[in-house]
Chains A and B, each alone.
Chain A
Amino acid sequence: GNSVTQMEGPVTLSEEAFLTINCTYTATGYPSLFWYVQYPGEGLQLLLKATKADDKGSNKGFEATYRKETTSFHLEKGSVQVSDSAVYFCALSEMNYGGATNKLIFGTGTLLAVQP
């Protein structure tokens, strides 16, 4: 079945460091790919998305490129801030053509801690 694998955390960085969180997926067809962020005590918020191969999603300085050849969607940011400290989830949208549902399959999440 479809699945998402992301790097385990925690990832601890100093402010202004470069961030990469790896995400790879297994899917049939052409899923959409997402990164969600969860700040302490809150629900999940969409950070960025890409709907087809070679698309680049970007938001708040974060970027991720949909790489079909490597089945990857790695999250990157050039210079992290303390306010970026959160849990990041990679996800894919699994389309059930019969029922038209688009279930989200999530990775296990990566905790990012940015120190001043």
Chain B
Amino acid sequence: DVKVTQSSRYLVKRTGEKVFLECVQDMDHENMFWYRQDPGLGLRLIYFSYDVKMKEKGDIPEGYSVSREKKERFSLILESASTNQTSMYLCASSNGRRRTEAFFGQGTRLTVV
């Protein structure tokens, strides 16, 4: 069964902290994505990666960076967490060669205090 695993379900961090959200997929997918989900705004794309060490900005990249050193792992980094980054973060992966669906992780609920 396909699987996308996010390292934490819930996180509480302090303002100014550096925060790492980790995502691992076991499907050998080329594409990986980080989305942010907020009420009334749906899912907004933060960053995506279509290959190892390759990344592109999504719609709301400000305040975030990403790392993809291995094909199966895609990390989202909040360089200096702020309260407006309190949100649900969703990781996803998809096959890069076809217009197939994306598979999602369970999500990480991040609270910045």
- Are B31 and A101 in contact, CB atoms less than 8 angstroms apart? yes
- Among A11-19, A38-46, A75-83, the one that faces the other chain is A38-46
- Are A106 and B99 in contact, CB atoms less than 8 angstroms apart? no
Number of interface residues of A (CB under 8 A): 24
In the bound assembly, the distance between CA atoms of A99 and B30 in angstroms comes to: 11
In the bound assembly, the distance between CA atoms of A49 and B50 in angstroms comes to: 22
- Are A89 and B50 in contact, CB atoms less than 8 angstroms apart? no
Number of interface residues of B (CB under 8 A): 29
Q: How far is the CB of A95 from chain B (nearest CB, A)?
A: 6
Does chain A have a CB within 8 A of B84?
no
- Pick from B42, B97, B104, B105: contact of A107, CB below 8 A: B42
Does chain B have a CB within 8 A of A108?
yes
Q: What number of A-B contacts does a CB cutoff of 8 Å give? A: 66
Does chain A have a CB within 8 A of B45?
yes
- Residue numbers in A under 8 Å from B101 (CB-CB): 32, 34, 46, 49, 93
- Are A106 and B97 in contact, CB atoms less than 8 angstroms apart? no
In the bound assembly, the distance between CA atoms of A62 and B102 in angstroms comes to: 19
Proximity string of chain B (38-55) to chain A, C-beta cutoff 8 Å, 1 when within and 0 when not? 001111010010100000
Which of chain B's residues 6-53 have a Cβ closer than 8 Å to chain A?
30-31, 33, 35, 40-43, 45, 48, 50
- Are A43 and B104 in contact, CB atoms less than 8 angstroms apart? yes
- Are B31 and A108 in contact, CB atoms less than 8 angstroms apart? no
Query: Which B residues are closer than 8 A to A by beta carbons?
Result: 4, 30-31, 33, 35, 40-43, 45, 48, 50, 56, 58, 90, 92, 94, 96-107
Query: Which A residues are closer than 8 A to B by beta carbons?
Result: 31-32, 34, 36, 42-46, 49, 51, 89, 93, 95, 99-104, 106-109
The 9 closest A-B pairs by CB, nearest first: A108-B42, A43-B104, A106-B43, A44-B104, A101-B50, A32-B99, A43-B106, A93-B99, A46-B101
Q: What are 15 A-B pairs at a CB distance below 8 A? A: A32-B101, A42-B107, A43-B104, A43-B107, A49-B101, A95-B99, A99-B50, A101-B48, A101-B56, A102-B94, A102-B99, A103-B58, A106-B35, A108-B40, A108-B41
